[in-house]
Structure 1
């Protein structure tokens, strides 16, 4: 039986990884891995099943060095997906654990399941669709001219993903855990880990973060609000844990922007 490759429009929605087989034959069927795909933008968060869950933290400043090292085991990234030369390429505009290996693979249908085969690394992943794929589906790329950070927000039906970069990019030549372990002090280790990739659900007008590379963000609300045609307010957390509204400039957009607001009646240009 011939196995066909999907087109990009068939990938919108939430996908949950059921299996990873590495090139050496090792298997992972327990990690919690979710990929949210918008029209072209996406967000992806990967966390081990045995990861610690720091309780009561208000910011990275509340975590010990050992807890910071535990965070470095996560993966999370967001950016834009495109199809070229028979393969799908996940450009990582935001990357919690940068790598020098391009993220690309061949996708083929196996019934309702997608099988991904690595193009630049030997691996196979199995992806199962989540419930509720389809509309509304939209995404924006964002910039903070004051800090130099960039961000991305994508929504697909009741799911949303948010990725926010570090103000200064990290080198891709060393694993994140090595960079954290080699940090000269706790302050530097926290700076290295200050990159957010979060996933959540929309219920009514409430956007609640359920999983995040930053433990203190879990359970918070994102509360996106459009400001005219070129601005977006998002609920963020300051260095000491205090909440504040952070204003971003919209640098690119796709889909209906009104579905990216938790405020009824908010509007923006298309």
Structure 2
């Protein structure tokens, strides 16, 4: 079984500040949704003047040292592992880079409600990670569409009583304001340990998402 992430890190986090020797950034919208097992992270530059960044995978914690294992990544692999030391308590944390000089300030904006982490494994490079906390969700979906690999990371909000899955931010600008239900028929499990089945409304492709324990 995957080691559980301490509760002090579980939640939906919004980055307030990035500082490096060359940059001070308060405008990029960054959301990190951490469950007790898996996470998804999305970074959308102001005005989309640069490519979006985003990644997803498993977080390992050793005291104050956190390592983000990037199973899916919109960017090419970095020569440096994604490792930081985290300081602070409650809903405000400061992260300092171990292998690269940076400081990030994170504010937790949600931490209540049930959480769920699902994974999908398709053909070839097709993979997905879908995390939920209360009404919030984020997913990273790398999926073959014809001869190309569609790569999407989105953050959104689920309606009351299983309503629309509205995308609030996405690496794909055209998806903002749409619902996952516009593209997929979603059959959620009645129990946290059940599978979730998605069926593409256009192609009929079925994707079975399994809980990650």
Task: Give the TM-score category using the shorter length.
Answer: 0.7 to 0.9
Q: Which residue of 2 aligns with 1:225?
A: 187
Structure showing the higher strand proportion among its residues: 2
The two structures have a TM-score, normalised by structure 1, of 0.65
Q: Which has the larger radius of gyration?
A: 1
Shift of 1:144: 1.5
Change in Cα spacing, 1:19 to 1:232, as seen in structure 2 (3 Å) is: same
The normalised TM-score by structure 2 is 0.81
Unaligned runs of 5+ in 2: none
Q: Find the aligned partners of 1:246 and 1:210 in 2 and give their Cα distance.
A: 25
1:45 to 39, 42, 46: 42
Give distance in 2, aligned partners of 1:111 and 1:232: 32
1:143 matched to 2:121: yes
Q: Structure 1 residues 84 and 166 mapped into 2: Cα distance closer, same or farther (>3 Å)?
A: farther
1:165 is paired with a residue whose SS is: strand
Contact 1:15 1:34 survives alignment (8 Å): yes
Higher RCO (CA < 8 A, seq sep 6+): 1
| Conserved? CA contact 1:11–1:37, under 8 Å | yes
Deviations 1:48-88 (A, max 9, x none): 11216xxxxxxxxxxxxxxxxx5xx2101111111136411
Counterpart Cα distance in 2 of 1:41 and 1:126 = 21
- Asked if 2 retains the 8 angstrom alpha-carbon contact of 1:231 and 1:247, the reply is no
- The reply to whether residue 197 of structure 1 matches residue 148 of structure 2 is no
SS in 2 for 1:99: coil
Q: Aligned residue for 1:182?
A: none
Q: Does the 8 Å contact 2:195/2:211 carry over to 1?
A: no
Q: Distance in 2 between matches of 1:88 and 1:37?
A: 12
> Which position in structure 2 is the counterpart of 1:247?
206
Question: 2-side partners of 1:39 and 1:135: how far apart?
Answer: 12
How much does 1:149 deviate? 0.4
Alignment-derived partner of residue 103 in structure 2: 124
Distance 1:84 1:136 in 2: 25
Equivalent residues, number: 199
CA distance in 2, matches of 1:219, 1:211: 8
Q: Which residue of the partner structure matches residue 35 of structure 1?
A: 32
How far does residue 152 in structure 1 lie from its aligned partner after superposition?
0.6
Q: Secondary structure at the match of 1:122?
A: coil
Deviation per CA, 1:198-248, whole angstroms, max 9, x where unpaired? 100011212111111122322232243247977533365xxxxx7455422
Alignment root-mean-square deviation, CA:
2.7
Q: Distance in 1 between matches of 2:43 and 2:52?
A: 6
Which of the two has greater helix per residue?
1
| Contact 1:143/1:251 (<8 A) preserved | no
Question: 1: distance between equivalents of 2:166 and 2:25?
Answer: 28
Summarize the alignment of residues 130-169 of structure 1 with structure 2, pairs less than 5 Å apart: 130=109, 132-145=110-123, 147-165=124-142, 167=144
